[in-house]
Amino acid sequence: MLRHPALALLAGTALVLSACGGGGGDAGSSNPNDNPAGTPSTGGGGVQAPANAYAVPAAEALTSAEVVRIIAQAAGEARARNLPSVITVVDRVGNVLAVYNMNGAAPFMRIPPPPGGGPSFDVQDLKNIPAAAGSIAKAITAAYLSSSGNAFTTRTASDIIQEHFPLAPNTIGLESGPLFGVQFSSLPCSDLNRRLSDGTIGPKRSPLGLAGDPGAVPLYKNGVAVGGIGVMGDGVYGVDNNSSDVDEDDEEYIALAGSTGFEAPAEIRADRVSIDGTLLGFIDAVASRLKSNPATPPALEGLGSYVAIPGYYAGGGPLAGTPYATAASGYRPVTSAERAAGSVIDNADAMIVVDAAGNNRYPIRGGTDGNEVAQPLSAAEVKAIAEEAFKILTRARGAIRQPRDSRMQATISIVDTRGQVLALQRAPDAPVFGTDVSLQKARSAAFLSSPRAAADLQGSGSADVAGFVQKARDFIGRQDVFTGTIAFSERPIGLLARPYFPDGQVNTANGPLSRPIASFSPFSTGLQSALILGNLQQQLGEVAGGTEVPRRCTTLPAIDGTGINRLQNGLQIFPGGEPIYRGNVLVGAVGVSGDGIDQDDMVSFLGIFNGGARVGGIGHAAQAMRISAIPFAQARNGFLPYVQCPVAPFLDTSEQNVCEGK
């Protein structure tokens, strides 16, 4: 089966996400994409978005008995395939409901070295990686990338994180995957993601970030995303290096068997979603080739045992999942009292992340960087940007959400120059992974645009990390790179972090923030992975029963002895974030992550522009400050793009090229 027809037509095109036709989707409350067209409005600052544009997902969750059934179905297929495995089930916000270790399962796994044959770096140098860590990461990935409007697997993830999209022998020369770099999110050291000790609230961290190793699928009840199942049995935690063929992947068959009765609706599966005319992969396994009968799963007694994983799962048996969009899950809708008090945006559709007591973890506030910035962002300015970004979000067409012409859903984060969160809100059914990623994007844009970026990188304690500063300066031809004189948005940051520059074009040098292609892999991307290698090494010790990893990623120096740094949940390198300026002074950044990278770019970019127009005094960097204004020989046409927005993005108007000239 060839998933990717007419690949030659994709060469040299810009990456634009668009949902494919067909598939009706569930129009009820289980698919919160209703009212797709909404109330017509016009562009510009201050436009009122339609009220109640979204439905909150129904309160569905796995019961402990259902978790047992899922594990037993998977174990039956693993036994039939003679591949004893570690099987993990999680709920939608990453709570680990069970880790089942079959007798004879390989206790450890390895990460393959770079296929180019060059010296290995970063994550694949980790030794003695517990197989359970891979199983958990895979289950979380399937849960976090999915929603009631799209169902993605770790095979889908493999498609969208590699150096060419799609990756196959006949596609060399195409641009990188649209979510290139997302694998280094939801990290175990993240200050946003929660721990086992935090109770049921999410989003929970993953021991290895997000996975691209086939063998995990999302789980659904009544059309509602309720979690994921991940399987690790073959001892290799890798990616699919040829997306055009059909794999006989035992782990994928085991996961498929486990998901029987909890399958994703066919109309929202990744293989119904198109990127530049190319259908994504969902799963190569098919039910007709299962070697067991999930309708009569074996008893688990004698096949293995539930095993405790320090920091993730206490063991002792299966747990029930927590319904998403309830306070107990860490996500809930805003209240009218919070809107009246001004601690959240004034929009009834917004959802926030909360603590164990149900309190908003990130109420709107002004900047914390008064000793570094003459006039930090005020709470009113933050609120204006957040509200205007959410209005754009509510009007935008979701690129990867079914049915077609559904509203975009995403998470929006705003930070100051220290990377401290000033606001965070999301659409009700936005994919969970975007919570952490939106914050990574905001912090990354603020950090690399900061006067302190070069000094922090050079003071990280890693010669490898420090070396990227001079590489970037030599590549761009400016010795003031990362000293605050140049504004970096997420799109050019990502392009500079590609193993081919310009993106995808083979036989060219790598970008200065990437590894050379011979040493590159999805587990060794360059500066991004180098910054958190030590954190992942710590994590292996924690999973083995050692000290819990601190809630702080990277070894960047702390700010003024505060114990925090500017990249507390890691660097991100795909589009959807821009810095905020007061005149020529950096004051913060916005990051957006959800239903399409060009859409993410648009929401963050127009949120800053419209918010600045509404309150005055803040906005984008001057054109001359942007990296897009600096010519250098290696850039395509001499320049890098700053932002790339969809041509005709809105559901309620026919406006085109809405980011031009801003």
Mean pLDDT over residues 264-293, rounded?
Answer: 94
**CA–CA dist 157, 124 (Å, integer):** 18
Residue percentage of the chain with pLDDT more than 70: 92
CB of 602 within 8 A of CB of 397?
no
Mean pLDDT rounded to a whole number for the chain: 91
Distance CA 394, CA 396 (A): 6
Say yes or no to pLDDT of 356 above 50.
yes
The distance from CA 315 to its chain's CA centroid, rounded to whole angstroms, is 28
pLDDT higher than 60, residue 571 = yes
- Contact predicate 326/333, CB 8 Å: no
Name the CATH superfamily housing domain 64-306.
Answer: Haem-degrading domain (3.30.450.150)
pLDDT, position 204: 98
Whole-angstrom Cα distance, residue 268 to residue 327?
A: 27
Residue 164 has pLDDT above 60, yes or no: yes
* Structure letter (DSSP) for residue 376: P
Q: Which CATH fold would you assign to the domain 31-38+47-56+327-449+573-638? A: Beta-Lactamase (3.30.450)
Taking residues 636-642, report their average pLDDT: 83
DSSP characters for 198-216? GTT-SPBP-BTBS--SS-E
Please check whether the two domains, 31-38+47-56+327-449+573-638 and 64-306, share a CATH topology. yes
For the cut 70, the answer to whether the pLDDT of residue 543 exceeds it is yes
Average pLDDT of the segment spanning 357-365: 98
Query: Is pLDDT above 50 for 375?
Result: yes
Look at residue 580 and tell me whether its pLDDT is greater than 50. yes
Separation between Cα atoms, residue 550 and residue 542, nearest integer Å: 10
Is 80 exceeded by the pLDDT of residue 656?
yes
Structure-token pair, residue 296: 């009569």
Give the DSSP letter string of 282-335.
--S--GGG-SS-TTSPPPSTTTEEE--BTTTB--SS------TTSGGGTEEEPP
Is pLDDT above 60 for 25?
Answer: no
Higher pLDDT, 279 or 424: 424
Q: Using omega within 30 degrees of 0 as the cis cutoff, is the peptide bond preceding 203 cis?
A: yes
Q: How confident is the model at residue 437 (pLDDT cuts 50, 70, 90)?
A: very high
pLDDT surpasses 70 at 16: no
Q: What is the pLDDT of residues 438-477, one digit of tens each?
A: 999 999 999 999 999 999 999 999 999 999 999 999 999 9
Residue 45 pLDDT level (bands cut at 50, 70, 90): very low
The CA radius of gyration of the chain, in Å to the nearest whole number, is 23
pLDDT at 124: 78
Domain map of the chain by residue range? 31-38+47-56+327-449+573-638, 64-306
pLDDT tens-digit map of 185-237? 999 999 999 999 999 999 999 999 999 999 999 999 999 999 999 999 999 99
Instruction: Give the type of residue at 245.
Output: D
What angle is formed at CA 128 by the lines to CA 127 and CA 132, rounded to 5 degrees? 130
For residue 125, what pLDDT band results from cuts at 50, 70 and 90? confident
Quote the pLDDT of residue 404.
87
Contact 584, 625 (CB under 8 A): yes
Across the range 170-198, mean pLDDT stands at: 95
* Most confident by average pLDDT, 20-24, 139-143, 395-399: 139-143
User: Which whole number is the average pLDDT over 547-573?
Assistant: 94
Q: Supply the pLDDT for residue 50.
A: 57
Let me know: does 230 contact 138? Beta carbons within 8 Å: yes
So what's the pLDDT on residue 354? Answer: 98
pLDDT (0 to 100) of residue 51:
64
